[in-house]
Amino acid sequence: MDNELSALVTIFTEFYYWITVVLMFLIHVGFCMYEVGVSRHKNHLHTLMKNTMLIPLVTITFFFFGWWIYWAFVNGPWIGTSIMDGNSGLQLGGGFGANDMANPTNALMAVNLGDHFYGVFWAAFLLFSWTAASIVSGAVIERIRTSAFGILAIAIGSVFWVIDASWGWHFDGWMVKILGYHDAYASGVIHAVCGGFALGVLVVLGPRIGKFAADGTPRNIGPRNPWLVTLGLFLIYTGFWGFYAACNVPVYDLGPEYGMEGVTYFTATNIYLTPTTLGGITMNFLMSLSGGLLAGYWISKGDPFWTYSSGLAGIICASAGNDLYHPLQSMLIAMVGVFCAYKLHYWVERRFKIDDAVGAVAVHGYAGVVGLIICGFVLWGYPSSGYGPDYAAINPIGMIIGAFIMFCVLGFLPGWILAKIIDSTGKLRIPHEVELAGMDFNYMEASKADETAVAADEK
Partner 1 sequence: MATVTDWVTHLTTDVDSEAEGIQVAGQIYPFVGTEWLWLLIAIVFWLAWHVKTSTSETEEYDELASKGKGPNDYKSNIADW
Residues that bind partner 1 (CB under 8 A): 41-42, 60-61, 64, 104-107, 110-115, 145-147, 150-151, 427, 430-434, 436-438, 440-442, 444-445, 447-448, 450-451, 454
Cβ at position 455, least distance to partner 1 in Å: 8
Cβ at position 221, least distance to partner 1 in Å: 12
Q: Please give the Cα distance from 371 to 362 (Å, whole number).
A: 12
Cβ at position 98, least distance to partner 1 in Å: 17
Q: Please give the Cα distance from 264 to 249 (Å, whole number).
A: 16
Q: Please give the Cα distance from 111 to 266 (Å, whole number).
A: 28
Cβ at position 121, least distance to partner 1 in Å: 16
By beta-carbon proximity to partner 1, the closer residue of 137 and 322 is 137
Strand partners, 218: 212
By beta-carbon proximity to partner 1, the closer residue of 57 and 392 is 57
By beta-carbon proximity to partner 1, the closer residue of 100 and 253 is 100
Q: Please give the Cα distance from 354 to 33 (Å, whole number).
A: 23
- Count CB neighbours of 16 within 10 A: 20
Cβ at position 409, least distance to partner 1 in Å: 27
By beta-carbon proximity to partner 1, the closer residue of 37 and 80 is 37
The residue among 205, 160, 125, 130 whose CA lies nearest residue 408 is 160
By beta-carbon proximity to partner 1, the closer residue of 144 and 375 is 144
By beta-carbon proximity to partner 1, the closer residue of 343 and 427 is 427
Q: Are 84 and 98 in contact (CB under 8 A)?
A: yes
Q: Please give the Cα distance from 174 to 89 (Å, whole number).
A: 11
Q: Please give the Cα distance from 236 to 258 (Å, whole number).
A: 36
Cβ at position 36, least distance to partner 1 in Å: 15
Cβ at position 155, least distance to partner 1 in Å: 13
DSSP collapsed to 3 states, 250-316: EEEEHHHHCCCCCCCCEEEECCCCCEECHHHHHHHHHHHHHHHHHHHHHHCCCCHHHHHHHHHHHHH
By beta-carbon proximity to partner 1, the closer residue of 277 and 447 is 447
By beta-carbon proximity to partner 1, the closer residue of 177 and 208 is 208
Q: Please give the Cα distance from 235 to 229 (Å, whole number).
A: 10
Q: Are 261 and 302 in contact (CB under 8 A)?
A: no
From the number of C-beta atoms within 10 Å of its C-beta (0-12, 13-18, 19+), residue 104 rates as middle
Cβ at position 277, least distance to partner 1 in Å: 34
By beta-carbon proximity to partner 1, the closer residue of 164 and 440 is 440
Q: Please give the Cα distance from 444 to 127 (Å, whole number).
A: 33
Cβ at position 446, least distance to partner 1 in Å: 9
